[in-house]
């Protein structure tokens, strides 16, 4: 009986030691608990198509005007990518003065009154801007249900910068002019992916707000004023320009998202 | 655990060391047959065996620890409560006189607690005076706290009768309870060292109540649980119920536990989540026993083992909430105490700690990992435990 008791205690000790070792060994597994997402929509182009844009209501991907030489083009490319292996390549031939060229991705309608809009950009070469070069745009409608009343609202442009990069400027179509940013040295780099994000609360009273970040740094905060005349919103990551050199002017766009919370340069828009 | 033969011998007071001591004093005592009243002589079943054992232990403790006060106490008691006015020791007996019995009792137990204990015992039994001595000629009868015994002494040695009566009184009034009670008055200054005691009682160490919970091979505990997680990113506090199974009778037993804790809403790295956790463990338990009285034992114990918990988190305010489950593994230590009596049911209180070296990461888009569940969990469980042989 005594021998049996010792055996029992020995087994108990062995069991405890084994369980403890197993627990400590597996305890370092650091399993993940995914509790959900505030990202309302995202596009990463990893499928090699623009389906993430074109298959949603109000979404689109287009380049115009269209000509025989197809100098304005959008395509999914593997030439550059922020994450994964694909990105959108937008190119326009804006060498002719007085002629606006367009290549854009768009989400219109069915967007929340307040949201964060973000995208990654890659400018492979320095571009000399003669008239304007828009990369990030919000549009409006004067009549919410009438597409024919659509018009421009806020643009984020790139212009030549003496520092060597492309300086970011803000154009308010309501005022018909550039509005100075809150910082003086908002410069987008050449040959490096950079992140542009905006918080847009499209209210028709003093609670309206528009805030921009460049690579996580806030560069402008427009508050205390009404925004569009109605809740309709169009957001366009784009390559729209006039009088640009060299031509074509090429821009890569990747990892676009609409989110309820800020994405930032370190954020994840998909798993 | 006592052998059965030893337990039987201890019930026979005439065979134990008390009477051997008296015989050694030079006066031979005869053991008489049962009295004409039909009462059994000696200490019968009305005084439980464990009471006798404990009483002897505490009588010895009183003799050794408080014996220094005996002479002065007895003298003071005799001065303050003369026999004629003593309401606690009454009776018409002249051999032994109630006062002589009191004097003998006061040599065995602390005088400052004696009267209060006598009154309590008398009140509990519903009898009048706690102690009554009746001289029936060759026999004499002692009634203490409602319990009566007769002894026959053909020699009519009154001092010897007083000692026998005193031992009976002390055992009936439960000296263990008396020693536990606070003293009514400060102890007197230490007198000169007493003479060697006339009575030598072999006092065995107290033993836990036999049978019931303490001899259970399988124990099942159910209790209320509270658990708190402490971490850099999040802290949780939950209430629930805990179930525990312990298998074994030795000093080391196997313990399996599980708990169901009510979910709680909390913030992890700024993301509000509903947190649910269902911990379990496999442990080895080391258990000891501390006797705290004739009917109670404390069983302190410590446990070491592996902890496993099912953790569920779901976001409360994200645009697309999702419930996610992970398993936590870690080490667990616990310490507790069980208060057991002679029944199969006992009460317990336990504190435990769990260390999770790799707590699950909680992630939410677009922020990614917003934090981890706590590394350290502290908890307490209290409830009842049932034992089966």
Tokens of A127: 């571009």
Q: Are A36 and B315 in contact (CB under 8 A)?
A: yes
Chain B within 8 Å of A260 (Cβ-Cβ)? Answer: yes
In chain B, whose CA is at the least distance from the CA of A14?
A: B284
Position A9 scores a pLDDT of 56
Residues 6+ apart with CB under 8 A from A149: A141, A142, A143
Residues 6+ apart with CB under 8 A from A25: none
Say how far apart CA A81 and CA A44 lie, in whole Å.
9
Tokens of A268: 């994840």
Position B389 scores a pLDDT of 82
Confidence of residue A87 (pLDDT cuts 50, 70, 90): very high
Position B307 scores a pLDDT of 95
Say how far apart CA A131 and CA A244 lie, in whole Å.
8
With CB atoms and an 8 Å threshold, state whether A269 touches B365. yes
Give the DSSP per-residue string, B342-368: SSSEEEEEEEEEEE-SSPPEEEEETTE
Task: Please state whether the peptide bond connecting residue A33 to the residue before it is cis, i.e. omega within 30 degrees of 0.
Answer: no
Position B39 scores a pLDDT of 36
With CB atoms and an 8 Å threshold, state whether A37 touches B365. yes
Instruction: Quote ipTM for the complex.
Output: 0.83
Digit-by-digit pLDDT tens for chain B (389 residues) are 333 333 333 333 333 333 333 333 333 333 333 333 333 333 333 333 443 344 444 444 344 333 333 333 333 333 344 444 578 888 888 889 898 888 888 888 777 778 888 887 777 777 667 888 988 888 888 888 888 888 888 778 888 888 888 888 888 877 666 656 554 444 555 555 444 443 334 444 445 555 567 778 899 999 999 999 988 888 889 999 999 999 988 888 999 999 999 999 999 988 999 999 999 999 999 988 888 877 788 999 999 999 999 999 999 999 999 999 999 999 999 999 999 887 889 999 999 999 999 899 999 999 999 999 999 999 999 999 998 88
In chain B, whose CA is at the least distance from the CA of A17?
A: B305
Q: Are B272 and B266 in contact (CB under 8 A)?
A: yes
User: Which one of A23, A111, A256, A257 makes the best mutation probe of the B interface by having the most chain B beta carbons within 10 Å?
Assistant: A23
Q: Are A190 and A158 in contact (CB under 8 A)?
A: no
* Higher per-residue pLDDT: B48 or A118: A118
- Chain B positions in Cβ-Cβ contact with residue A36 (cut-off 8 Å): 314-315, 318-322, 364-365
Q: Among candidates B382, B381, B379, B368, which has minimal Cα distance to B230?
A: B379
Chain B within 8 Å of A28 (Cβ-Cβ)? Answer: yes
Q: pLDDT digits over A2-35, tens only?
A: 444 544 556 656 665 665 566 555 544 557 899 9
In chain A, whose CA is at the least distance from the CA of B312?
A: A33
- Chain B positions in Cβ-Cβ contact with residue A19 (cut-off 8 Å): 282, 305-306
Chain B within 8 Å of A5 (Cβ-Cβ)? Answer: yes
Tokens of A76: 């999914």
Give the DSSP per-residue string, chain A: -HHHHHHHHHHHHHHHHHHHHHHHHHGGG--EEEEEE-EEEEE--TTSSSHHHHTSTTEEEEEES--TT--SEEEEESS--SSSS-EEEEEE---STT--EEEEEEEESS--SEEEEEEEEE--S--EEEEEEEEEEEEEESSTT-GGGEEEEEEEEEEE-TTSSEEEEEEETTTTEEE--SSS--EEPSSS-EEEEEEEE--SSTT-EEEEEETTEEEEEEESS--SSSS--EEEEEEEEEEEESSSEEEEEEEEEEESS---TT--S--
Q: Identify any residues that bridge with B87 across adjacent strands, giving them in sequence order.
A: none
Q: A51-65, A206-220, B96-110 — which is least confidently predicted?
A: B96-110
Chain B within 8 Å of A19 (Cβ-Cβ)? Answer: yes
- Chain A positions in Cβ-Cβ contact with residue B331 (cut-off 8 Å): 20, 23-24, 27
The partner residue sitting opposite B306, judged by closest CB among A20, A28, A267, is A20
Query: Strand B89-90 vs strand B131-135: parallel, antiparallel, or unpaired?
Result: parallel
In chain B, whose CA is at the least distance from the CA of A40?
A: B319
Position A111 scores a pLDDT of 96
Nearest chain B CA: its distance from A255 CA (Å): 12
pTM for the structure as a whole: 0.62
DSSP letter at B84 equals: G
Q: Average the pLDDT over A138-163 and give the result.
A: 95
């Amino acid at each position: 009986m005594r021998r049996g008791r010792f055996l029992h205690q020995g087994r108990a000790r062995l069991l405890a030691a084994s369980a403890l070792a197993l627990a400590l060994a597996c305890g370092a597994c650091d399993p993940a608990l995914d509790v959900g997402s505030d990202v309302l929509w995202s596009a990463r182009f990893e499928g090699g198509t623009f389906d993430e844009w074109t298959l949603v209501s109000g979404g689109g991907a287009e380049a115009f005007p269209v000509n025989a030489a197809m100098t304005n083009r959008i395509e999914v490319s593997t030439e550059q990518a922020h994450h994964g292996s694909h990105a959108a390549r937008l190119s326009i031939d804006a060498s002719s003065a007085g002629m606006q060229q367009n290549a854009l991705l768009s989400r219109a309608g069915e967007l929340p009154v307040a949201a964060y809009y973000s995208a990654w950009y890659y400018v492979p070469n320095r571009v000399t801007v003669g008239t304007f070069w828009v990369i990030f745009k919000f549009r409006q409608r004067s009549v919410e249900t009438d597409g024919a009343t659509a018009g421009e609202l806020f643009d984020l442009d790139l212009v030549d910068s003496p520092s060597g990069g492309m300086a970011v400027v803000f154009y308010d179509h309501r005022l018909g002019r550039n509005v100075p940013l809150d910082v003086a040295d908002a410069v987008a780099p050449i040959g490096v992916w950079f992140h542009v994000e905006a918080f847009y609360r499209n209210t028709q009273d003093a609670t309206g707000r528009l805030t921009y970040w460049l690579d996580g740094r806030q560069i402008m905060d427009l508050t205390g004023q009404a925004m569009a005349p109605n809740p309709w919103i169009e957001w366009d990551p784009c390559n729209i320009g006039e009088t640009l050199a060299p031509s074509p002017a090429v821009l890569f766009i990747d990892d676009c998202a609409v989110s309820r919370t800020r994405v930032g340069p370190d954020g994840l828009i998909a798993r | 655990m006592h052998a059965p033969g030893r337990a039987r011998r201890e019930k026979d007071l005439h065979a134990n060391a008390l009477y051997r001591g008296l015989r050694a004093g030079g006066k031979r005592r005869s053991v008489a047959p049962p009295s004409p009243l039909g009462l059994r002589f000696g200490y019968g079943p009305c005084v439980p065996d464990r009471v006798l054992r404990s009483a002897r232990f505490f009588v010895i403790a009183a003799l050794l620890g408080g014996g220094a006060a005996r002479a002065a106490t007895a003298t003071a008691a005799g001065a303050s409560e003369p026999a004629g006015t003593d309401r606690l020791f009454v009776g018409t007996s002249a051999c032994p006189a109630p006062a002589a019995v009191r004097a003998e009792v006061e040599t065995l137990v602390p005088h400052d607690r004696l009267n209060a204990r006598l009154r309590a015992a008398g009140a509990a039994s519903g009898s009048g005076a706690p102690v009554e001595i009746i001289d029936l000629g060759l026999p004499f009868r002692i009634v203490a706290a409602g319990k009566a015994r007769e002894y026959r002494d053909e020699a009519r040695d009154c001092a010897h009768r007083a000692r026998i009566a005193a031992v009976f009184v002390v055992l009936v009034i439960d000296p263990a309870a008396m020693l536990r009670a606070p003293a009514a008055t400060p102890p007197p200054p230490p007198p000169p060292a007493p003479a060697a005691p006339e009575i030598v009682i072999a006092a065995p160490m107290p033993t836990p109540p036999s049978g019931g919970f303490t001899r259970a091979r399988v124990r099942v505990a159910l209790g209320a649980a509270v658990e708190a997680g402490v971490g850099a990113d999040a802290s949780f506090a939950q209430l629930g119920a805990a179930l525990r199974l312990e298998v074994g009778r030795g000093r080391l037993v196997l313990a399996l536990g599980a708990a169901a804790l009510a979910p709680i809403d909390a913030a992890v790295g700024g993301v509000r989540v509903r947190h649910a956790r269902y911990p379990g463990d496999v442990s080895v338990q080391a258990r000891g026993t501390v006797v705290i009285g004739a009917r109670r034992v404390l069983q302190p114990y410590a446990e070491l083992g592996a902890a496993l918990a099912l953790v569920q988190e779901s976001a409360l305010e994200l645009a697309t909430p999702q419930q996610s489950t992970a398993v936590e593994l870690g080490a667990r230590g616990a310490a507790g105490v069980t208060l057991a009596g002679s029944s199969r049911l006992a009460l317990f209180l336990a504190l435990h700690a769990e260390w999770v070296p790799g707590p699950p990461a909680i992630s939410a888009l677009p922020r990614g990992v917003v934090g981890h569940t706590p590394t350290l969990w502290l908890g307490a469980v209290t409830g009842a435990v049932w034992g089966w042989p």
